[in-house]
Amino acid sequence: MKLARDTWLTLQYEGGLLTRSPINIAISLLQPVTYLLLFTPFLKSVMGVSTYSGAYQIYVPSLLTAMGVFSGMFAGFAMLAAIGQGVIGRFRVTPLSRVGLMLGRQLVFVLLTCFQGVVITVIALLFGLRTPVIDVVVALALLALMVLIGVSISYLLAIFVPTQTALANLMNGVTEPLALLAGVLIPLSVAPLWVRNVARWNPFAWGANGMRAVYQGNIGANVVWEACAILAVIAVIAVTASSRLFDREIEIEIA
């Protein structure tokens, strides 16, 4: 109960700050929209898909997965900034639940990324994607789980590299392979066998495959519920581990 209340308080406070500057939200849409509009035509000819609807069915899940993987980047920077300004320290002196403090901040990025996902899907609909609403909801649920994992990873990395430049480099080193091995540019289905074998250990690849099945109209496929289950379990572990470890290790940084 207290956890729910404290998570909601933090979500309201941090989310409120974000919506105070809508221009930043608009800017955050630029990159995914650019990829959606300019990369899909390439993919259409490379993959030999006959219609744009088919091309979007392949690429929209990839793009959403990439947004899930890279959302952690911004979360890590925001966390370092909040630590640097002493805000995290001020919150940690209060009786606020430690997990609530972390989860509330993470949910801000979940909502932001899901909002971006809705915008991307709506634009893709305008350009020829055909998909039922329920499928979009399931895809967004998978996206939300991926964001929780991505943000947790970046918080864990932020513990060990407390400067922005170092964090940027390390994040790139971790997220680029995760993204490529999830098939965010070219789907894994055309990858060599060894790549596909490695990708089995990448939760984001499961997310991408699950989403792609959903967007192709196979919402009942095994890969969909498997992806949901795998991502849900990993997300719970990631969130708990990152808030526990963060609470224990953060003292080193500010001292």
Q: Which residues contribute to the site for another protein (CB under 8 A)?
A: 6, 9, 13, 16-17, 20-21, 82, 85-87, 89-96, 251-252, 254-255
**Smaller CB separation from another protein, 6 or 135:** 6
Q: Nearer to another protein by C-beta: 118 or 254?
A: 254
Residue type, 18: L
* Alpha-carbon 76 to chain mean position: 12
Task: Please state the closest distance from residue 222 (CB atom) to another protein, in A.
Answer: 44
Query: Using the 8-state DSSP alphabet, how is residue 129 labeled?
Result: -
What residue type is assigned to position 224 of the chain? Answer: V
Q: How many residues make up the chain in this entry? A: 255
Nearest distance from residue 103's CB to another protein, in Å? 15
Nearer to another protein, 176 or 251 (CB): 251
How crowded is residue 240: how many other Cβ atoms within 10 Å of its Cβ?
14
Query: In the complex with another protein, which residue's Cβ is closer, 226 or 253?
Result: 253
For another protein, the closer CB: 90 or 244: 90
Which amino acid appears at position 183 of this protein? Answer: G
Smallest distance, another protein to C-beta of residue 93, A: 4
Q: State the nearest-atom distance from the C-beta of 10 to another protein, in Å.
A: 9
- Report the residue number, 9 or 185, with the smaller CB distance to another protein: 9
Q: In angstroms, what is the minimal distance from the CB of 91 to another protein?
A: 7
Question: Do 154 and 171 contact (CB within 8 A), yes or no?
Answer: yes
CB of 94 to another protein, least distance (A): 4
Rounded to 5°, angle at Cα 254 from 12 and 157: 70
Backbone angles phi, psi at 191, to 5 degrees: -80, 155
C-alpha separations of 147 from 68, 95, 205 in Å: 5, 27, 13
Contact 68, 113 (CB under 8 A): yes
Q: Are 167 and 158 spatial neighbours (Cβ–Cβ below 8 Å)?
A: yes
- Asked if residue 159 lies in contact with residue 245, where contact means CB atoms within 8 angstroms, the answer is yes
